[in-house]
Chain A
Amino acid sequence: MTALLELRGVSKRFDGLVAVNQMGFDINKGEVVGLLGPNGSGKTTLINLISGALSPTQGSICINGQDIAGQRADRIAKAGIARTFQLVRILPSMTVLENARVPAAFGAKSHWGYEIDQIAMSCLKMVGLEDMAGAYPAELTYIDQKRLELARALAAEPEMLLLDEWLAGLNPTELQMGIALIKKLQSTGITILLVEHIMEAVRALCPRCVVMNAGALIADGPTSEVLANPDVIAAYLGEGHDA
């Protein structure tokens, strides 16, 4: 099986600070991979590098063999990568349905006319927002705004979905709903890379995890093995702790 996403020696330097240091891993089609690491370890920066919000100082990022490192965000979106944001970003002047229509119109397949509404509506159905299609974002609850952001990412019909702490800030009931929703996505065969702090969600959703610390890769493998890895425990709890 060939990899959908390949990272090789990806680094990002902000003046003296190396936020991402020689990261390299592959993600195969249909995989759901967790991206873990303590605060400030470079997870969101890495997501920004893949999605084109930032351009890497070094290294290559390939999707389907095509190098997209350093390209503009709109080109990367058209290459089949969609994302959500750590802090929810909804288009305030547009209705829920209109929000979801945007990537359907400008994403990888550039639909127009009737097809856009069809795709947008089916993505709203997928996340359970179809009844709110005509509402404005200000009327939505927090989890519904998160759902909308997910529906909007899906409306791009991406091959690769990047979720940046999509489950953060939800209450325990909402968290269960969120986990179930991502499980449902998984069954459609979409490839997902998710940044997450909630271990319960990581164990439930990700068979494999990649762990970063201080910008570098410290572990990559099956979730249970990675979480038992002494380096990972040291990264989270500091040196000198026993697992």
Chain B
Amino acid sequence: MTRILLSIAAPLIALTVLAFAPSFLGEYELGFMVSLMSYVTLATAWAMFSGPTRYISLATVAFFGIGAYTVAVFNEVLPYPVVLLIAVSLGALLATFVGFATLRLAGIYFVIFSFGLAELVRQLITWFEVNITGTLGRYIFLPFDTKHIYWQLLALAAITIAIGFWIRRSRLGLALKVIGDDEVVAAHSGIALARTKVLLFVLSASLMTLTGAIQSPRWVYIEPTIVFNPTISFLTVIMALLGGATRLWGPTLGVIPLMIIFEWLSASFPDHFSIFLGALFILIVFLLPNGVLSEIEARLARLKKEPAK
């Protein structure tokens, strides 16, 4: 009982404190918090689908970029909530299409496909902008300060974690866990494979699309190379894996230390950033294949067993 109370009360207190962050943080720190909240949402949404099913998706930035671009295209002609709605619909539509077309692909084929998808979307938009509209970059003028963007992203992160919390307790969560273990058993137990996977993929992609849409006014000027930067997909994967993609709070725990390290690296060693990123990726996969949370739990379990010997 105390555990349940703690698992609900502690996040609520944290959320309240975070909501007041703009009143005690400077502009630079708040800007950092915006990126942090953005990656908490991306990594948690990524792990929602990829954690249990083990389909490693590198399409994160495809959805993120679609969200940002939708805002760039419509921000001057339509009210903001309508723009967000269009963004989510486009992201969900693409995810549904991609889901039904590709979730039969297993393992490495899905990884390559998802990476290719992000590049395809970027190239298509670039082609369209250059050949049809004639301008590559676009401006976003929305009356938002950093704190407004921060609050929206904080709310989105909270909603994403709440959805993750709910899925874990639902039939959907159980179905995904079984699919991750053995698809044949899942099907013969009465689980509709394609529907379950696509549903989760669409949910996860919608949250990523919203993240891109909400964060886009931070850039003011955007072009495909900025919002479809594949590094965003890689960072999302590495963060979720560091914390543990099968745990609700795993991705969040992976995001915090990595964001701090990346912030320091990109300020101190801007030219060597990619080298460190690659090295870190390799280290995490080798040393913590199941994430920090699982590692800590395994060590605690070992400690408990030892005195009994």
Q: Which residues of A contact B (CB under 8 A)?
A: 51-53, 72-74, 77-78, 82-83, 85, 89, 91-94, 101-103, 105-108, 110, 112, 152, 156
Contact = CB atoms under 8 A, between A and B. Distances in A.
Nearest to B187: A73
Contact of A105 (B171, B181, B188): B171
Contact of B190 (A89, A92, A108): A108
Given A94-B177, A102-B174, A112-B171, A107 B190 contact: yes
B181 A77 contact: no
A77 B190 contact: yes
A138 to B, nearest CB: 13
Nearest to B170: A112
B35 to A, nearest CB: 33
A102 B187 contact: no
Contacts, number: 67
A83 B187 CA distance: 11
B192 interface: yes
15 contacts: A51-B188, A52-B187, A74-B187, A74-B191, A77-B189, A85-B184, A93-B177, A94-B181, A102-B178, A102-B191, A103-B190, A105-B174, A106-B171, A110-B190, A152-B185
A105 B190 CA distance: 9
A191 to B, nearest CB: 17
Contacts of B191: 74, 102, 106
B175 A106 contact: yes
A119 B171 CA distance: 16
Most buried by A among B180, B184, B191, B193: B191
Interface of B: 171, 174-175, 177-178, 180-182, 184-193
A91 B182 contact: yes
B189 A156 contact: yes
B244 to A, nearest CB: 13
A110 B177 CA distance: 17
Contacts of B181: 91-94
A83 B192 CA distance: 17
Contacts of B177: 91, 93-94
A89 B178 CA distance: 12
Contacts of B182: 89, 91
Nearest to A107: B190
Contacts of B187: 52-53, 72-74, 77
Contacts of B174: 101-102, 105
Given A83-B188, A93-B181, A74 B193 contact: yes
A91 B181 CA distance: 6
Contacts of A101: 174
Nearest to A162: B188
A205 to B, nearest CB: 23
Contacts of B180: 93
Contacts of A52: 187-188
Contacts of B192: 72, 74
B184 A103 contact: no
A113 to B, nearest CB: 10
A179 to B, nearest CB: 24
Nearest to A76: B188
A112 B182 CA distance: 21
Contacts of A102: 174, 178, 185-186, 189, 191
Contacts of B186: 74, 102
Contacts of B188: 51-53, 73-74, 77, 82-83
Nearest to A91: B181
A106 B171 CA distance: 8
Nearest to B185: A89
Contacts of A93: 177, 180-181
A51 B190 CA distance: 11
Contacts of A152: 185, 189
Contacts of A53: 184, 187-188
A28 B192 CA distance: 29
A226 to B, nearest CB: 29
B191 to A, nearest CB: 5
